Structure 1
Amino acid sequence: MTEIRPVPVDQADAHALLEEYFALRASIFPGGTYRTTFPDPTVFVEPAGMFVVLYDGEEPVGCGGIRRVADGPAGTRYEVKHLFVCDAGRGRGWGRMLLADLETRAAGFGANEVVLDTHHTLEAAGGLYARSGYEQIEAYNDNTNATRWYRKALGAQHPPAAH
């Protein structure tokens, strides 16, 4: 059974998933210039944000977070950060499950839209965002690891489904 649980971003399972994510990104990043920055735990504390871990049984297999950022043209804006599913979990729909959960949580915090940044070499991620209703926008931050920026307007949301 899969389950998404809110956890502190510095909790052991979350930290281990982030270490795996950052190591993977650094190993394939063009030019070897990936900048690893572990997130400040305070930005993922309700209602400013939240971090979640996806469990398959008791095994942590994915993670992601949302955090409040400066308002955009649509009003209250949250950013999706560190969306990651480990290699063994890919192709099971877990990335979409995590993304939908984070969008619902952002809407619950009053977000009118969510934004995210990514790198053009992450083709699977770009495909997920396109299939999930994200549109490409101009840069809203100065993240040196990003080459593409996206947004999604949030409409009526429903509570996350039990997984």
Structure 2
Amino acid sequence: MSVTIREISPLAPEARLLLQASQALMRTLFPADENHYLDAEALAVPDVTFFGAEAEGALLGCVALKRHDGYGELKSLFVAPEARGLGLGQKLLAHAEARAEADGLLLIRLETGNKLFAASALYDRCGYRQRGPFGAYVANGSSVFFEKPLPAEGAVPR
């Protein structure tokens, strides 16, 4: 299966459906006050780039890169259930990292849930290390935080 990852609008109908599926899963796993997902409108702002993974005309996965002062944050990494096990999560992660590096960011951070075992395993495999809360996040019973430095060659700190 040939997969294309490209920048898309989170407001597109197929992107909204994928985001809604991700958010529905999060609501079943975590208390409302410990869910930190962003809705489509919050992902459609200038400091966020939203990517979709498509194959055979279907949107199968997504990830967003949100820019902060000094680092990028990954949001909304999700692969549709029917596409799991194909390596799309790793491809989306690598694509977002490449964009962050091209944008001159030196560090990627993310928050995920402690019950998302496959996600945490993916981040471990891809060089992310656990850390404490960052930004406006606070420690709670569900959140796990990761970060990964990006290569500094040619990068301009932001």
Q: Which TM-score bucket, shorter chain as reference?
A: 0.7 to 0.9
1:139 aligns with 2:133: yes
Distance 1:20 1:109, change over 3 A: same
CA distance in 2, matches of 1:57, 1:145: 39
- Deviation at 1:56? 1.4
Aligned residue identity for 2:111: D
- Unaligned runs of 5+ residues in structure 2 are 154-158
The corresponding residue for 1:161 is none
- Deviation at 1:145? 8.7
How many pairs does the alignment contain?
A: 148
Task: Check whether the contact 2:34–2:142 (CA below 8 A) recurs between aligned residues.
Answer: no
The corresponding residue for 1:152 is 148
Counting aligned pairs with the same residue, the percent is: 29
- Structure 1 stretches of at least 4 aligned residues deviating more than 3 Å after TM superposition: 31-37, 143-146
CA distance in 2, matches of 1:82, 1:23: 12
The corresponding residue for 1:20 is 21
Distance 1:10 1:135, change over 3 A: same
Aligned residue identity for 1:155: P
Quote the RMSD (CA, aligned, Å). 2.1
Aligned residue identity for 1:149: F
Task: Check whether the contact 2:29–2:115 (CA below 8 A) recurs between aligned residues.
Answer: no
Aligned residue identity for 2:107: E
- Deviation at 1:150? 0.7
- Deviation at 1:96? 0.2
Distance 1:95 1:41, change over 3 A: closer
Task: Check whether the contact 1:13–1:53 (CA below 8 A) recurs between aligned residues.
Answer: no
Q: Which of 79, 83, 102 matches 2:77?
A: 83
CA distance in 2, matches of 1:14, 1:145: 29
TM-score using structure 2 length: 0.84
Task: Check whether the contact 1:63–1:82 (CA below 8 A) recurs between aligned residues.
Answer: yes
- Deviation at 1:28? 2.6
Aligned residue identity for 1:66: L
